[in-house]
Amino acid sequence: MSDGTSWAGATAKQISRGVRRGDVSAAQVVADTLEQIAISDPTLDAFRVVRAGEALAEAEKVDDQEDLANLPLAGVPVAVKENTAVAGLPTWGGSAAARGPVAEVDHEVVRRLRGAGAVVVGVTRMPEMGLWAVTDDTDVPTRNPWDRDRTPGGSSGGSAAAVAAGLVPIAHGNDGLGSIRIPAACCGLVGLKPGSGVVPAELGIDGWFGLVENGVLTTTVADAVLGFSVLAGREPAKLVEPPRLRVGISTRSPVVGIQPDEPNRQAVVTASKLLVEAGHDTVTADPRYPTSLGLRVLATWFASAYRESQQLDVSKLQPRTRRHIRLGKLAWKAGLVKQAHRDAWRAASIKFFADHDVDVLVTPALAAAPPLAEQYANGSWRQNMQVSMRYAPYAAPWNVAGLPAIVVPVGMRPDGLPLAVQIIGPPDSELLLLAIAGQFEVRNPWQRHAFG
């Protein structure tokens, strides 16, 4: 890319290496990025706000720094999900009605990104209060770059769309019940949800009772490692080939009555073959998802909305959100949301790996194709619940357990949309999950961006 072509679409590692070596300036990279956003985002609506002037000024400051060699994200354009504080911008929360005040300081994860040399070019869209597995508001739906008739997922849908379209190499997201992994699967990206306590996760009142984790969406495993290391406050890690592993394989759905369609079943078959080719052993190992877990996930989801809404004018929120809040008030007042319940599921989840003698677990990432990109904000609560749960049931249990989980592309559906699997590990296994994802990438490379 030193031949004068655009740096838009380059990986974070390529950009940071180029800026540190002097092959390109951070200002030029950001200018290329802003140009690409201006061309592509009008048909995607991935961004809520683009910080064009501010980003260029901040890129120039990166170029003026004398310690570029120590900046792992030197000059890398990044996007931040709109519910996370970026100094000088409000936290939108998915709609004007859920918008918070202008932030005076950056959230800690944004501060870490900037401290590593990254330049925040804008904030990305999400559904109101981050409640849904589709990204839209009353004005526009955000669209999937692979098929603009489809959703990029939610709630970090704007971030996923921006990365999949090549507008930024890394986008921040957060994941309360799958909000990084679901969009990653919809858009053919690598999406890591760290385990509890690994990355600063303060959000709202208490981050959905501690279920929410901050992470990144990327097109390559190397960029995922880089972004994770920065957010976790660690030196950039060098992945090592994992030892021979015993891998549990399961297509069992956490939600009764919802099963994966044939393409998503085949995604797990593909993943199993790749694991065997990499020298690992696979065995069927189905987690037991008790009915009580599903009810408690629902109660927590509802109650999180209720508690967050106490800072908002509920009358101005979308109808689907208002009903969610009303149910949350009932769940909260009835005492249905308890730390003891979450602790029990975490203990059972950790015990699963020992009981089945497996190092990690592979499941489908989704149960069906991404739904149509529609303005679900104008629809009923029941419609939104059905749409979200029917296609994306696999992520939520691992937020309750606080375990790390990653989504990795493994191919394409017959309809041309990406396919992916989810890999879950015990506590502190983030780098192991990334290393396994790296083995998938080497043996079964995926198309990094959607074009067209």
Report the C-alpha gap between 84 and 199 in whole angstroms: 14
Q: What's the pLDDT score for residue 207?
A: 80
* Helix locations, 319-445, DSSP H: 319-333, 339-355, 381-391, 396-401, 430-443
C-alpha torsion 441→133→370→443, nearest 10: 10
Q: What is the pLDDT of residues 326-380, one digit of tens each?
A: 999 999 999 999 999 999 999 999 999 999 999 999 999 999 999 999 999 999 9
User: Is residue 68 in a domain?
Assistant: yes
Report the C-alpha gap between 135 and 46 in whole angstroms: 9
By the 8 A CB rule, do 160 and 186 touch?
Answer: yes
User: Quick one: average pLDDT of 15-22?
Assistant: 98
Residue 4 pLDDT exceeds 80: no
User: Is residue 393 in a domain?
Assistant: yes
Q: Is 273 a catalytic residue?
A: no
Q: Is 179 a catalytic residue?
A: yes
Report the C-alpha gap between 128 and 305 in whole angstroms: 10
User: Is residue 335 in a domain?
Assistant: no
Q: What is the pLDDT of residues 130-165, one digit of tens each?
A: 999 999 999 999 999 999 999 999 999 999 999 999
By the 8 A CB rule, do 127 and 156 touch?
Answer: no
Strand ranges (E), 253-309: 281-284
DSSP 278: T
Q: What is the pLDDT of residues 309-318, one digit of tens each?
A: 998 999 999 9
Query: CA nearest 65: which of 8, 19, 33?
Result: 19
Three-state DSSP at 446 gives: coil
CA atoms within 13 A on the CB side of 322: 12
Report the C-alpha gap between 181 and 395 in whole angstroms: 7
User: Quick one: average pLDDT of 119-125?
Assistant: 98
Q: For residue 332, how many other CB atoms are within 10 A of its CB?
A: 18
User: Is residue 129 in a domain?
Assistant: yes
CA 28 to chain centre: 28
User: Is residue 359 in a domain?
Assistant: no
Q: Is 316 a catalytic residue?
A: no
Q: What's the pLDDT score for residue 242?
A: 97
Candidates 13, 16, 81, 95; catalytic one: 81
Query: Confidence class of residue 5 from pLDDT cuts 50, 70 and 90?
Result: confident
Q: What is the pLDDT of residues 199-234, one digit of tens each?
A: 999 776 578 999 999 999 999 999 999 999 999 999
Query: CA nearest 33: which of 162, 125, 147, 161?
Result: 162
The pTM of this model reads 0.97
Structural domain count of the chain: 1
User: Is residue 77 in a domain?
Assistant: yes
Candidates 16, 156, 159, 179; catalytic one: 179
Sheet with 47-50: list strands edge to edge. Answer: 47-50, 119-124, 77-81, 170-175, 213-218, 190-193, 405-412, 418-424, 360-364, 246-249, 281-284
Query: Confidence class of residue 2 from pLDDT cuts 50, 70 and 90?
Result: very low
Chain mean pLDDT for the chain: 96
Pairing of strands 119-124, 47-50: antiparallel
Candidates 155, 159, 229, 309; catalytic one: 155
C-alpha torsion 375→379→385→388, nearest 10: -10
Residue numbers of the domain that contains 407: 12-246+369-443
Residue 215: C-alpha distances to residues 108, 131, 223, 348 (Å):
12, 17, 12, 25
Q: What CATH code is carried by the domain that includes residue 209?
A: 3.90.1300.10
User: Is residue 360 in a domain?
Assistant: no
